[in-house]
Structure 1
Amino acid sequence: MLLNDVMRRLRYALSLDNSATISIFKLVDYTLEEEYLSNMMKREDEEGFLPCRDKTLAMFLDGLIIKKRGKREGVTPPVLASGERLSNNDILRKIKIAMNYQQEDMMKILRTGGFPVGKGELTALFRKADHRSYRPCGDQLLRNFLQGMVKTYRPEAHKK
């Protein structure tokens, strides 16, 4: 799944405009130009499209955590090293932390998005990668989770 899609769907679900998104980046001491943000929000086939980098999405998610949960004293969010990738599991974990979701909340959102999962399956997504019960989060699960968030936070968008 394109990271641009993740950012676009999260912004839509949480009703974040450009200025709100830029302020979230400022929470992690990163200055994002509005033009750059606008180009990241374009579709792939639109002129001026810029791909969202893993590091950029990670900073956005860390900023969202700070916005929703507050900044932890003496702790700065880790910055992705050059070439390091952000997995779907990482994205889901950061959204879970930011939104303060419990297991039942996540299962409800996935059901709303048309992708019901059991407790065991959901728990496996949040295990360490070297754990025997770890399960990688697929694009379809992440896509349906984000769709469930849109339906949960913006129900008016789906009543048309």
Structure 2
Amino acid sequence: MLNNDTLRSIRYMLDLGDVHVVEILALTGHKATREEVEAWLKKDEEDPGFAAMPDLVMAHFLDGLIIHRRGRDESQPARPVEARINNNTVLKKLRVAFELKEDDIIAIMADAGFKVSKGEVNALFRQPKHSNFRTCGDQFLRNFLKGLTQRLRGAK
């Protein structure tokens, strides 16, 4: 899934303005402007001013979201920011930010109309070298974001 789509979904889910996105990025030390955020939020690549959101910036945003939602843990050293982001990483960081357990993820997916088992959810959070690791597909992440939005904003 494109980082731009993920950012748009999270922004809608939490009802964040452009300034809030800039502030969340600043929590990890990443400086972004409101104009950059507006370019990342454009829906279509043909829109004038559209810019693809780099993986590094998405990693900063997700780490900042964790700090924004849960607070900074001063007892731990700052974790290095990933240079490459994939759907599994996005899912893991959202799980941490929203303090979700396996059962929560299964319920969120069911709310989105996507049935998933505990084993399938576990496989998404395993290390890539593990024999039971599964790649998180775009459809899974899209439905997860849809279900989480319904949970946080209420069903429409």
TM-score normalised according to structure 1 size: 0.92
Matched, 1:60 2:61: yes
Shift of residue 47 of structure 1? 1.1
Deviations 1:85-115 (A, max 9, x none): 2111000000000111111111111111121
8 A contact 1:110–1:116 mirrored in 2: yes
Shift of residue 119 of structure 1? 0.4
Shift of residue 152 of structure 1? 1.4
* Structure 1: runs of 5+ lacking an equivalent: none
**Which amino acid in the other structure matches residue 112 of structure 2?**
G
Shift of residue 75 of structure 1? 1.6
8 A contact 1:62–1:77 mirrored in 2: no
Structure-2 separation of matches of 1:23 and 1:12: 16
Count how many residue pairs are aligned between Structure 1 and Structure 2: 154
Output the aligned Cα RMSD.
1.2
8 A contact 1:65–1:98 mirrored in 2: yes
- Flag as ranges the 4+ runs of structure 1 deviating above 3 A: none
Q: Out of 75, 78, 81, which is 1:79 matched to?
A: 81
Aligned to 1:41: 41
Structure-1 separation of matches of 2:79 and 2:35: 25
Matched, 1:153 2:149: no
Matched, 1:12 2:15: no
Structure-2 separation of matches of 1:50 and 1:37: 9
Structure-2 separation of matches of 1:75 and 1:87: 24
**Which amino acid in the other structure matches residue 143 of structure 1?**
R
* Structure 2: runs of 5+ lacking an equivalent: none
Structure-1 separation of matches of 2:47 and 2:145: 23
Aligned to 1:112: 111
Shift of residue 154 of structure 1? 1.8
**Which amino acid in the other structure matches residue 110 of structure 1?**
M
Shift of residue 155 of structure 1? 2.4
